[in-house]
Chain A
């Protein structure tokens, strides 16, 4: 039984169908990539999974439970954490306080009286932004803020991490370190679903990939298979042929 199952989900905005009968799954302990051209419905899928968007049709199952109708916060309490494409850091708090708030929320009313522990700094260190701990979250670079959102999620010790374009704003060496961190997090048994435009990163760290185009899942499988899938080629490049150079082309598709 997969950790997360998205089953036949449909989301329409007026006349536009953003997600069109999409079904995919993500396993615990594995990194699942969700890729596709701009406007393919990736972020909308995340919104459906986390409860920010109610689907017109379909179901979401998480840890063997149907959660389609649960409110946002109850899904989070079941062990779901997410980051945002357009940043949602708490701008007027410091980086450290951002993570502290997440911890406060995770502990609930019982934790209100306990002071937040030193583990906050350990988390910041883990994602590599301890140096920014005392800066206000609206004054740090974008890449750092994305890592902050990740640290904030981790404060709740989630079973499933949904990362929306986590590597944009990171330089090459930071991206490499980030990839290693993801592998570590997955090795701890967490499921990770990642929307990402950096194909090199996706192809190296992901175990499974689902490709969305116009709201439909057009391909699913391990990176090696996705790389050569003619449907995917067509979605990304507008054409497909059997030329082997396609492999290289696909890796060069940048956001």
Chain B
């Protein structure tokens, strides 16, 4: 009996902390329509700040707490709303997701830079105090946390129902334009919501740190638990959010107490929140199509088939030259870049064309790699089967959330990624706990590519095939329908399009492409394990894809190279490890509003150079069909690029 009681109290304690975090999430989402994926990252940074003030600098605990919760966190929230997330709520959900994922990655990088890895501890509040309840010892820290969650609940209730600004907050949920007409100030409301939101994230982080430790990732990923709780209240209802948080806390605590600690079910304990999130998303009611959304995505131009062919051939020649001259270590990097570029192609389809966001694209690559290694058929048949399996898994992730759109689909990929990371990939039938699997090199039509150079060339060929295939798809009927669905789901619906199965097919195809990349990667490396496909790596992937341009094949190629270079850069200058992520994250924050990314700047540069020097070069070398800078860039415009720029500028 006393075990039950003690685990219930433990559950109530974690539930209370989740409730505090989740209510902050709900507050910011309802008032600004921006779902803050970085909510937990803010909590993490603030917990580190609190540690810095109270432990490193030795300030009194109460003063540090007041400084963090009352000054630093609200100021951060205010700043972020004012200069980063403002106006994102009315735009496509893919943009606001990318920007907050950018914050997520950037904050982790920043924390690593300011507080380099070393053991740190944060003592609980009133460490020596506690009370006996029914034979169970309850620490003062636990009691304080539970009490504080009640205080937060009461304070939020009073704020929303009894104050003018609270009324304005509730009004801005429904209609910010109307609120402005009636003399309210939606911006002030939004800033306040974010100030409170970050403050609550900070409080939750500080309360949980003594229990789970000061860790960049654990604290950040705790938000998944907060998402799950908030989702029970459909991101709207604070009371239901509290219920969800407490329920989840207790469920998790009981899982620790009563589920077996070994065997295949052992991993279940770690994924209770992800399962909870998935379950809640599955039972969510049908989403209604939104009309009157601001449309902002301007696609990069689609090149002609000839031009993509020329670009692809040029790329292959380049890789062939590299294959002859490069060391094996460097060739491995080229192959890795090709893998990343292929995974990014799958994002071009899903995000660039389709307008959906996947937060776990590497996980699908992992499914492909796992299938390839397990099938042990190192030929085209095995490769395609592996891709097919990954595609089916992708479709399976999309089916339960068939009725939902945008945000919920993205969150379900996150839950899926956690499940695969902690439960499936580490299971005995997969890679095993910290284990690896051998995978053989691919042979095509009986010819085995034993040399690394040859294999890398095959990978490059697959990239070119996938890229050209993608562009053909984009030019055809399906591509048009995809773009139409992204631009206006409501119009597609009223024209008679059943978008649900399209969405499943889109997810499946994209996951299949990622799976193919993963399978090829398995062959490249020879041995692969769960560590190669961690969920967390999918986030920098998404960011680099967007920064480099998620609407074009060129952007995917650039992104692949960039993502490959990240760890290389870190190994050269280890002290800059955090900075790299901070730059990437905050770069995505700055550029996330323009999904055409750097690739588009390259196109514009190409056009500029062509206009300046093109004629002179062509007259000097009459045989030259295209200027060199345009061959490398395998895309050309149907639309004057100045116009694309103007649209981007108008939105920025």
Q: Which residues of A contact B (CB under 8 A)?
A: 13-14, 47, 50-54, 71-77, 80-82, 84, 86, 88-93, 97-98, 100-102, 104-106, 111-112, 116, 136, 138-139, 149, 152-153, 155-156
Contacts and interface: CB of A to CB of B under 8 A. Distances in A.
Given A14-B174, A86-B291, A91-B487, A76 B495 contact: yes
B292 interface: yes
Contacts of B183: none
Nearest to A100: B480
Contact of A101 (B292, B481, B493): B481
Interface string B484-508: 1011101111111111000000000
B605 interface: no
13 contacts: A52-B291, A52-B494, A74-B498, A76-B495, A91-B488, A92-B483, A98-B484, A102-B495, A104-B477, A112-B477, A152-B491, A152-B495, A156-B495
Interface stretch (B28-36, B134-142, B293-301): B293-301
Given A14-B174, A101-B480, A112-B477, A93 B493 contact: no
A53 B477 CA distance: 29
B494 A76 contact: yes
Contacts of B499: 73
Interface string B626-652: 000000000000010001000100000
A156 B487 contact: no
A71 B286 CA distance: 11
Given A92-B299, A112-B478, A84 B483 contact: no
The 6 closest A-B CB pairs, nearest first, are: A76-B496, A72-B493, A86-B292, A88-B491, A90-B487, A88-B488
Contacts of A138: 295, 298, 647
Given A90-B491, A136-B639, A138-B647, A104 B496 contact: no
Given A52-B291, A86-B292, A88-B291, A72 B494 contact: yes
A84 B487 contact: no
B487 A93 contact: yes
Residues of B contacting A: mostly: helix
Contacts of B434: none
Interface of B: 174, 288-289, 291-292, 295, 297-299, 477-478, 480-481, 483-484, 486-488, 490-499, 639, 643, 647
A68 to B, nearest CB: 15
B494 A104 contact: no
Contact of A50 (B299, B484, B494, B498): B494
A29 B415 CA distance: 53
Nearest to A162: B494
Nearest to A47: B291
A206 B299 CA distance: 41
Given A88-B490, A90-B483, A52 B495 contact: no
A153 B288 CA distance: 21
B496 A84 contact: no
Nearest to B486: A92
A88 B647 CA distance: 17
A52 B289 CA distance: 6
A88 B478 CA distance: 19
B487 A139 contact: no
B83 to A, nearest CB: 27
Given A14-B174, A93-B487, A105 B292 contact: no
